[in-house]
Amino acid sequence: MIKDLNVAVIGVGNMGRHHARVYSEIEGVNLVAVADRNKNIGQKIARKFQCRYYSDFLNLLNSEKIDAATIAVPTSLHKDIAITCIDKGIPVLIEKPIAESVQSAQKIINKSKKKKIAVCIGHIERFNPVVQQLKKLIKQNRFGRIISISSKRVGLYPPQISDVDVIIDLAVHDIDVCNFLLEKEPQSVYARAGKALNSKRFDYSDIFLNYNGVDVLLQVNWITPVKVRELTLTGIKCYAELSYLNQTLRLYKKGHGEDVDIINIEEINLRKEEPLKRELQNFVEFIKTKKGDVVNAEAGLLSLKVALKAIDSHKMRRVVKL
């Protein structure tokens, strides 16, 4: 009989607080403790979900019996905290991106392989029901040969982001989704980016990826006053429109014979679910049984590599091979 899993959340800011909430709701999981440098926020979350609070994650790890942990701290801190957890034999789910650099990500991966401890990456959009359904339709050959994918992920600047730009913060979502849908790695990237409202880091970018003949355009920014999270996919048989926020999926297909001028529209009925809950349920299942559907560290590293190559492309003003 599998025992309940004792988990901790390191960093309970914008995203980590939701990890704490979801863990507290999952059957077979005990949210034991949270850690955060901000005492007011950390204590508030601990009281809300009836667990212990630590201002220092090391004190948490040394004081509690933890079976797994979420790391939801600023990206620059991912490597050191992840390696500390791995050294203590604790599997981790690291909120995307895996790290701030390829070198740091590789150190996490090397350590996890040496210690044989699981590292999963929190690419939440993979667990959105519309992405899962779109992947099934692709597998069923509903689109035929895929020609192109276009995505838009825009909105206002999130003030809690302090150490990464819009490409690392937002575009990695869509890079991972495209890797997942196409089951390929891009061969090249061309990107343009700029600092329209933020003098310290890129706040908008258009990224062009070539997946061996499939053209992908990603648009991200922290400028648009309305939040948009959309993806479209064009195949020779069918065209799809997807909304991450509304969890809607619509297919468009030409008629045949006498109805060639008619466009058939199909609304795909989906049961709406919280992607984070699906993600953490799979993480928990993976830790318990090794059978959960998770995003492994290598997939997280690939998305980071592509995002960093996009930054290189902008700086060099040319296409960059991957």
Q: What is the pLDDT of residue 99?
A: 97
Which of 237, 205, 282 shows the shortest CA–CA distance to 5?
282
Radius of gyration of the chain from its Cα atoms, rounded to whole angstroms? 20
Q: Which CATH number fits domain 126-272+305-321: 2.40.170.20, 3.30.360.10, 3.30.70.141, 3.30.420.40?
A: 3.30.360.10
Mean pLDDT per 10-residue run, the chain (322 residues)? 87 97 97 98 98 98 98 97 98 97 98 98 98 98 98 91 90 98 98 92 97 97 97 97 98 75 91 97 96 95 98 98 96
Helix axes 78-87, 102-115, angle to 10 degrees: 10
Q: Please name the helix (run of DSSP H) or strand (run of DSSP E) that holds residue 78, with its range, or none.
A: helix 78-87
Residue ranges of the chain assigned to CATH 3.40.50.720: 5-124+276-295
Q: What is the pLDDT of residue 257?
A: 57
Question: How does strand 119-122 pair with strand 92-95?
Answer: parallel
d(CA 19, CA 27): 14
CA angle, residues 79, 29, 92, in degrees to nearest 5: 10
Q: What is the CATH number of domain 5-124+276-295?
A: 3.40.50.720
- Name the 3-class secondary structure at 198: coil
Give me the DSSP letters along 25-39.
HSTTEEEEEEE-S-H
197 and 188 Cβ atoms separated by less than 8 Å: no
Average pLDDT, the chain: 96
The DSSP letter of residue 246 is: T
User: Given the structure tokens 């090397």, which residue do they identify?
Assistant: 110
Q: What is the 3-state secondary structure (H, E, C) of 98-136?
A: CCCCHHHHHHHHHHHHHHCCCEEEECHHHHCHHHHHHHH
Which of 264, 273, 262 shows the shortest CA–CA distance to 142?
264
Which of 81, 55, 84, 85 shows the shortest CA–CA distance to 68?
85
Q: What is the pLDDT of residue 9?
A: 98
Q: List, in sequence order, every residue forming a beta bridge with 239; answer none if it has no partner.
A: 234, 252
Q: What is the pLDDT of residue 256?
A: 67
Q: How many CB atoms lie within 10 A of CB 291?
A: 9
Q: What is the pLDDT of residue 260?
A: 64
How far does the chain reach from its first CA to its final CA, in angstroms?
Answer: 46
Q: What is the pLDDT of residue 247?
A: 98
User: And the tokens for 238?
Assistant: 């069918």
Residue ranges of the chain assigned to CATH 3.30.360.10: 126-272+305-321
User: And the tokens for 180?
Assistant: 């997942």
The answer, as to whether pTM is greater than 0.85, is yes
Q: What is the pLDDT of residue 199?
A: 81
φ, ψ for residue 118, nearest 5 deg: -70, 135
The DSSP letter of residue 2 is: P
Q: List, in sequence order, every residue forming a beta bridge with 35; answer none if it has no partner.
A: 10, 54
11 and 36 Cβ atoms separated by less than 8 Å: yes
